[in-house]
Structure 1
Amino acid sequence: MGPRGAALYVGFLDPVNNAVLDAPELRMSVTTGPTYIWGAMFPESAATDSLRALRDGELQAALLERFRRRGWAERPLEVIARAAPHSIAAYRFNAASTRTADLAPWPAGCITALGDAVHATPPTAGMGAGAAIRDAAALLQHLGDIADGTTTPADAVHRFEAGMRRRGNEILTLAMRTVRLVLATDTPLGAAATAVATPILSAAARLRH
């Protein structure tokens, strides 16, 4: 994170080795090699609105210029500079309420929803897709209880939604901590504190390694 709401997250995905480590039969299902996954984040404003109209190399150049104007070093920006231009896109992300009562606030019935349809999760926790998978697994479990005759459809949906609200609350709370921290750097005090603290934290990280 840097002053004035500039943030960059970087992850490394190696599906080739991990997928076939204990399951050679999955080798043919792997479609990508090792790759970096990254995202640049800025608070919403008229300036960031203009980024969403850009594509490919224009967007790449605009992101690099925005980070450099904020004083970022070139090393962390290599992940943007080396990215394939056609792989870059800009979008606005939304977040559901972190209040449990606001998630799935309808009476349990024969229709339900799961994943981002209920608890839309910012990418800052890296758990959005996993949360949807957990919801699906829980729903299957509760539907199995109906098949076993141990519960009614209404009770099964009610129990599923109660668990989904708790899971959604936990993930959203984690994700929004980072979002709020990014937004806090976009204030005069936050920008000054970030400018002072970032070099200290960076030096401490280098000493640890």
Structure 2
Amino acid sequence: MGIGPRGAALYVGFLDPVGNAALDAPGLSASVTTGPTYIWGAMFPESARTASLRDLRGAALRAALLDRFREHRWAGHTLEVLARADPISVAAFRFNAASTRAADLAPWPAGRITALGDAVHATPPTAGMGAGAAVRDAADLLAELDALPGAAGVAEAVGRFEARMRVRGAEVLTAAMRTVRLILATDTVPGALATAALCPLLAAATRLRRPPAAHAVAARS
């Protein structure tokens, strides 16, 4: 993820569920994405300057995002991912975030019905951990229920699961909100000035730390 002045942030990820699958048998997993693709998200604080973006879709939204990033002097090669995006895949939405306090999550008595993932700890995508936390929730619940000898003790098993889920969800939310607060800080006058001054220095330091082999690979890609 990259964060620039005036609350402009962009994350980009590469997904290849078949050619570079995380599992040994990708064909067994249903997926909307079947070929290599980039997944990206542009983030801006809600304000009078960004209100018009929420009503845009498709090519109009893509063009508006590119204009906004260019206005903030983002590198052209970085924005190429946005420029090549299929317009039909571009849409705007708001973030939701649950409390970062574990005690505030799943505030109900344990029983035979429960919830997990964003239904309990709604997490902005600013830490890249929300979906993973939901998968861990599901695996944890399954392990608790699978260990039961019979139908008895379900509520107790769910209670143990929910206790761990509260802690796990609070940790993920804390990490995600840390990035959100950083994005909001760059939307202030001091934050914008500091970010504009520091970004070139950080980029130069990153290039210096990169090993020579990485430069060679990047040149061939």
Q: Could you state the TM-score of these two structures normalised by the residue count of structure 2?
A: 0.86
Q: Deviations over 1:101-144 (max 9, x none)?
A: 11111222232111100000111111222211111111122222
Equivalent residue number for residue 135 of structure 2: 133
Report what 1:82 is aligned to.
84
Partner of 2:49: 47
In the alignment, which residue of structure 1 is the partner of 2:37? 35
Once residues 176 and 156 of structure 1 are traced to their aligned partners in structure 2, the CA distance between those partners, rounded to angstroms, is 30
**CA apart distance, 1:20:** 8.8
Q: CA deviation at 1:34?
A: 1.2
| Cα offsets for 1:39-70 (capped at 9, x unmatched) | 10000123323212111110011001111112
* CA contact 1:7–1:41 (8 Å) conserved in 2: yes
| Number of corresponding residues | 207
CA RMSD of the aligned region, Å? 2.1
Displacement of 1:26 after TM fit? Answer: 2.5
Q: Report the alpha carbon displacement of residue 82 of structure 1 after superposing the two structures with TM.
A: 1.1
The question of whether the paired residues in 1 share the 8 Å contact of 2:18 and 2:27 is answered with no
| Comparing 186-195 and 46-55, the one that deviates more | 46-55
Does structure 2 retain, via aligned residues, the 8 Å contact 1:16–1:27?
no
CA distance in 1, matches of 2:55, 2:72: 22
Query: Which residue in 2 is equivalent to 1:58?
Result: 60
Instruction: Decide whether aligned partners of structure 1 residues 195 and 126 sit closer, same or farther in structure 2, where only a CA change above 3 A counts.
Output: same
- SS state at 1:15 partner: coil
Alpha-carbon distance in structure 2 between the residues aligned to 1:94 and 1:48: 17
Q: Are the equivalent residues in 2 in contact too, given 1:19–1:27 (CA < 8 A)?
A: no
1:171-207 CA-partner distances (Å, limit 9, x unpaired): 1111111111111101111111101100000111111
Unaligned runs of at least 5 residues, structure 2: 211-221
CA 1:151–1:167: 2 relative to 1, 3 Å:
farther
- 1:135 to 1:20, Cα distance in 2 relative to 1, 3 A: closer
Identity of aligned residues (%): 71
Is the Cα contact below 8 Å between 1:6 and 1:182 reproduced in 2? yes
Contact persistence 1:97–1:119 (CA under 8 A): yes
Residue identity matched to 2:155: A
> SS where residue 46 of structure 2 aligns?
coil
Question: In the TM superposition, what are the counterparts of 1:46-195 in structure 2 within 5 Å?
Answer: 46-146=48-148, 148-149=149-150, 152-195=153-196
Give me the whole-angstrom Cα distance separating, in 2, the residues matched to 1:49 and 1:126: 25
TM-score, structure 1 normalization: 0.91
The 1-side partners of 2:74 and 2:80 are apart by 11
Q: In 1, are the aligned partners of 2:6 and 2:187 still within 8 Å (CA)?
A: yes
2-structure distance, mates of 1:111, 1:86: 38
Relative to structure 1, the CA distance from residue 103 to residue 52 in structure 2 (aligned partners, 3 Å threshold; closer, same or farther) is same
